[in-house]
Structures are given as structure tokens and as C-alpha cells.
């Protein structure tokens, strides 16, 4: 039965991880494990990703003379609507009982069979309406860097890429399903046992929309530590080249082809830059305050609209997707063998499509055992969203200057992991 294509369309919306939309900033594995903090706590090897000034901060101990990340990769899947679980149960709980009730009417036109058919039709329609505009999201990021910290001149080179994956189904067949129910009930009233299972063929108007954005950047970082009024203030800047891409593809569930997504690409390559500062708040150089602005120059792209052909053509409007500046403040406290840090995004990033806007606050801690094993925990919460905080954890191992990092995050709707190799001297 062609109605099964609705199930296929919804499943594609949940599983299309090659589609990108609305990518957050890249997180290396250490920050990933510590609730996303880094503006006042990043090690020199990762300074360019959070706060370029961290390359020139006067360290009290364990200052890297050289830092390398090669590479760091991370994946986070978010399913706040529990769409994937819904899809797992959809066919058995709704679609199959609906089709079975039609089969029953072929041999039994009694009142009980008619009532069962109407009940199953209502349940299917209600469920599809409930799933309408639900979506699942996957974030993907990768980065590498080479950094040489220094108070007189800290220098670094970095490359990173990040993407958000998002797709959703628009259910537009409620009227068609209700008309089918009316016609079947009339056939039963007329005593006609012939029920056409091909009734819906070629008329489905439900559609899948995939929207994506991806950002890749390559840049250099310069930082210097100034002494003003007896206080050290580190300043940094990262000029960079940013490639910003947006995709927006829509099709009815019968004709959706993921490979067609690439044909909708809009791209913009421009020079941008990041700014940062950092200063100690106490004479013992334990409390460090940091402030950074990433992507100072806003970039935006507008996707093309599209008309989805069908019995009733559907017009889909294009979207304007923006790469906006992100301003973040952070503070950290460094003990003899531990660090505790908090970061707060001062700006709110708009949602690309149906996901929440973004404004993260994160808290994290690291305990360093003999400068060999690092244990990390944290939490990260979106102040502009409705989801629960995400808990994070991770582990690092450093031997002979080489390091391996593992990290994970999750709550009831989110699951993520990160892996990184690098070197510090």
C-alpha cells in the first residue's frame, strides 16, 4: 500500500545524518567532557577554538611550550521529540492495525468491524498529526591545531569544521485519509465488500524537508600579554577564512531523494575573525576571567524556495540562515592539580528551522593525576531551549608528550561522543 511511504518519509527525516542545519561552534574533547567550557580554561593547544587570548596567558604551572591537536572529532545526536522511538513503534502500533482493519472489512461488514476501522483510522491520523514537524538533529565537528604559546607573542594555526543535521516531515494528508474513511464507510453502508487498497496511490501530499548548514574555517592566532597597572591582560585575535554553506531540500515522501540535497547548496566564503581577552582576578593567579567574540562579522545566506508537485502543489518558502557572532564570558579557578570553570554565552543564536534557539551555559571540572591521567566532568544547558541539561564526562591520558582524549555527553534525549589525539611539550 502506498500509504507505507509515509512511514518511509518519517524514517528518512529521523535518519538523514548527511543533511546539515544550524551548526554550533566546534568543541574539542577536553571541553566536550567539561560542559563545553574553554573561554577561561582552554589549554594552549585548543585556545584558538574558544579564546585566542589564552595563548598569551601567564601560566602558573604546566604551561605548554607547544600544543598539537591532530585531530579532534565529535558527534552529538539530539531527539527531543523522541521521534526515533516513535518511528520504531509506528508501524506495529498504528499502520499495521489500520491496514488489518481494512482487510477485515473485505469479509466482515458488521458494526464491530466498521467501528474498529474508524478507531484505527482516527488513531493513525492523530499520530501522524502529532509527528508533524517533529525532527531529530545530529551535530558533527572536527578540528586540528598547532599552537606555540607565549606571553610576548603566542602564535597558532587552526582548522575546524562543524555541521548540524536536521530533517522533518510535514504531514498534509489528513483530508485525504478522512475522505478515504468516508468512502469506505459508504461502501460498507452500500454492502460493497470491495475495498480498494490502492486508493491513496499517487495522491500523498506529505513531504520531507531537509535543511542544513555547515561551516569550515582555517586561520591563524596571534596573542600578546600586556601589563597594565600591575595586572596582566592577555589579548588575542584570530583572522580566518570561513566557508559557510547552506542546504534546503523539500520533496513529497514518494519522490524524496537524499542525493538531490547537494543540488540546493548555497555558499559564501569570506574573511572573518575572532577576538579575545583574559586576565587574572587575584594576585595568586588562580582565578582567571576570559571574554571572547567568535565570528565577529555576520554572514548570511538565503535558500531558494521550492514548489512540491502533486495533486495540490505545495509552495515552500526559502530561509535566511545566519552565521552570527557569539560572545562568551568565562571564569576558571586553578588549584594544584585541578581546574573548575564556568562559561556563559552572552548572545543568543537563532534557530535555523525547528530546533531551539541556542544560548549555552556550561560548568566543568578536571582533576589531573600526576600529569598523566585527567578525569573530567561537567554539565551544559541551553538557556534558550526547553531541554534538560546535558551531563558530560571524559578521560585523558598523557604519556611522553602524547595525549589521547575520550569524552561523552548525554541526557534522556541527547547522546554524544568525542575522540582526540594530540601532543603537548
Tell me the domains of the chain and their CATH numbers: 4-81+134-171+206-424 (2.40.160.60)
Cα distances (angstroms) measured from residue 73 to each of 78, 312, 396: 17, 44, 15
| Positions of the chain with pLDDT under 70 | 1-23, 60-63, 80-91, 134, 193, 195-206, 252-256, 258, 307-314, 352
Using the CB atoms, write b or e for 110-148: b if 16+ within 10 Å. eeebbebbeebbeebbebbeebeebbbbbbbbbbbbbbb
Cross-strand bridge partners of residue 62: none
Give CA–CA dist 141/28, Å, rounded: 9
DSSP code at position 283: T
> Most distant CA pair in the chain: distance in Å?
96
DSSP code at position 352: S
Average pLDDT, the chain: 84
**pLDDT at 38 (0 to 100):** 97
243 contacts 215 by C-beta, under 8 angstroms: yes
15-60 pLDDT, tens digit each: 433 333 346 889 999 999 999 999 999 999 999 999 999 999 987 6
DSSP code at position 106: T
User: Beta-carbon neighbour count of residue 203 at 10 Å?
Assistant: 15
Cα distances (angstroms) measured from residue 104 to each of 2, 241, 250: 19, 64, 36
**pLDDT at 113 (0 to 100):** 85
Among 76, 55, 233, CA closest to 158: 55
User: Beta-carbon neighbour count of residue 230 at 10 Å?
Assistant: 6
User: Beta-carbon neighbour count of residue 307 at 10 Å?
Assistant: 10
**pLDDT at 138 (0 to 100):** 81
Cross-strand bridge partners of residue 287: 333
**pLDDT at 16 (0 to 100):** 38
- Which three three-digit cell numbers place residue 422? 594530540
**pLDDT at 204 (0 to 100):** 55
DSSP code at position 23: P
Find cell 586553578 and name the residue: 334
Percent of the chain with pLDDT over 70: 83
**pLDDT at 413 (0 to 100):** 85
**pLDDT at 75 (0 to 100):** 94
Amino acid at each position: 500500500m502506498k500509504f507505507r511511504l509515509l512511514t518511509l518519509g518519517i524514517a528518512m527525516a529521523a535518519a538523514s545524518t548527511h543533511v546539515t542545519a544550524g551548526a554550533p561552534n566546534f568543541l574539542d574533547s577536553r571541553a566536550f567532557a567539561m560542559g563545553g567550557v574553554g573561554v577561561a580554561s582552554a589549554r594552549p593547544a585548543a585556545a584558538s577554538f574558544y579564546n585566542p587570548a589564552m595563548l598569551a596567558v601567564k601560566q602558573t604551572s604546566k604551561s605548554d611550550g607547544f600544543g598539537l591537536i591532530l585531530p579532534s572529532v565529535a558527534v552529538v545526536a539530539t531527539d527531543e521529540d523522541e521521534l526515533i522511538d516513535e518511528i520504531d513503534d509506528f508501524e506495529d502500533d498504528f499502520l499495521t492495525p489500520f491496514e488489518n482493519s481494512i482487510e477485515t472489512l473485505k469479509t466482515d461488514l458488521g458494526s464491530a468491524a466498521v467501528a474498529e476501522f474508524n478507531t484505527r483510522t482516527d488513531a493513525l491520523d492523530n499520530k501522524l498529526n502529532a509527528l508533524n514537524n517533529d525532527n531529530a538533529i545530529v551535530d558533527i565537528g572536527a578540528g586540528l591545531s598547532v599552537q606555540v604559546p607565549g606571553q610576548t607573542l603566542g602564535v597558532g594555526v587552526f582548522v575546524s569544521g562543524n555541521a548540524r543535521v536536521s530533517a522533518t516531515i510535514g504531514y498534509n494528508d489528513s483530508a485525504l485519509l478522512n475522505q478515504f474513511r468516508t468512502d469506505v464507510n459508504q461502501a460498507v453502508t452500500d454492502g460493497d465488500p470491495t475495498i480498494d487498497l490502492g486508493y491513496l496511490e499517487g495522491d500523498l501530499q506529505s513531504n520531507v524537508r531537509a535543511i542544513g548548514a555547515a561551516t569550515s574555517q582555517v586561520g591563524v592566532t596571534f596573542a600578546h600579554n600586556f601589563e597594565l597597572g600591575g595586572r596582566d591582560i592577555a589579548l588575542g585575535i584570530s583572522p580566518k577564512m570561513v566557508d559557510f554553506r547552506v542546504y534546503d531540500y523539500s520533496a513529497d515522501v514518494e519522490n524524496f531523494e537524499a542525493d538531490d540535497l547537494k543540488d540546493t547548496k548555497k555558499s559564501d566564503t569570506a574573511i572573518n575573525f575572532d577576538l579575545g581577552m583574559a586576565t587574572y582576578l587575584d594576585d595568586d593567579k588562580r582565578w582567571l576571567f576570559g571574554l571572547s567574540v567568535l565570528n565577529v562579522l555576520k554572514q548570511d545566506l538565503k535558500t531558494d524556495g521550492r514548489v512540491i508537485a502533486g495533486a495540490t502543489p505545495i509552495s515552500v518558502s526559502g530561509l535566511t540562515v545566519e552565521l552570527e557572532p557569539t560572545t562568551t564570558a568565562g571564569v576558571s579557578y586553578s588549584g594544584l592539580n585541578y581546574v573548575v570553570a564556568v562559561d556563559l554565552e552572552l548572545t543568543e543564536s537563532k534557530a535555523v528551522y525547528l530546533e531551539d534557539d541556542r544560548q549555552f551555559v556550561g560548568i566543568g571540572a578536571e582533576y589531573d593525576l600526576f600529569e598523566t591521567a585527567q578525569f573530567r566532568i561537567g554539565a551544559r544547558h541551553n538557556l534558550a531551549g526547553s531541554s534538560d541539561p546535558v551531563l558530560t564526562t571524559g578521560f585523558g591520558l598523557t604519556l611522553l608528550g602524547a595525549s589521547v582524549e575520550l569524552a561523552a555527553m548525554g541526557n534522556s534525549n541527547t547522546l554524544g561522543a568525542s575522540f582526540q589525539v594530540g601532543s603537548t611539550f
